[in-house]
A = this chain, B = another copy of it.
Amino acid sequence: MPESLRWLAGAPFGRVVFTENALPAVRPMYHLVDDDRVVIHGQLGSVLPRGHEQVVTYAADEIDPTTRLGWLVTVTGLAGPVTDPAEIERYQSLLNRLIPLPHDQVIRISCEFVAGIELVSSTLPRAAD
């Protein structure tokens, strides 16, 4: 697994960035990283209207507001609903440990583009693999 996805896997939550009614939208989400894919859950109709696939970006970061040091990772790829009942059950079990909120959609994002930046000083950012 690339270092960027390991950072993402260790983050408490992230944000899904997508298009909603032709406008840029962002929602905080809990996630897990499964075999180089990102899995999130949400309310049906918000991220994937009518269950249609769409390209989204998922982002997480941990940036210290005082030192401004930390890291940020973005993943861009096709998001689609998980439809296999056994997979849904497994993901929901894992995601419910993170936050036991009602959600009717488990979404899996393929990681077509992964970008990670470590902010090691205010002048020398380091790119991760």
Contact = CB atoms under 8 A, between A and B. Distances in A.
A2 interface: no
A26 B65 contact: no
Interface residues of A, number: 28
A76 B24 contact: yes
What is the interface of chain A mostly: helix, strand, loop, or mixed? strand
Most buried by B among A24, A26, A63, A68: A24
A28 B63 contact: yes
A69 interface: no
A72 interface: yes
Contact of A56 (B18, B24, B122, B123): B24
Interface string A17-42: 11100011110100000000000000
A62 to B, nearest CB: 10
A48 interface: no
Nearest to A101: B122
A83 to B, nearest CB: 23
26 contacts: A12-B65, A13-B63, A13-B65, A17-B24, A17-B25, A17-B26, A18-B24, A23-B55, A23-B57, A23-B76, A23-B113, A24-B56, A24-B57, A25-B57, A25-B76, A26-B26, A26-B57, A26-B59, A26-B74, A28-B61, A28-B63, A68-B99, A99-B122, A100-B122, A101-B122, A101-B123
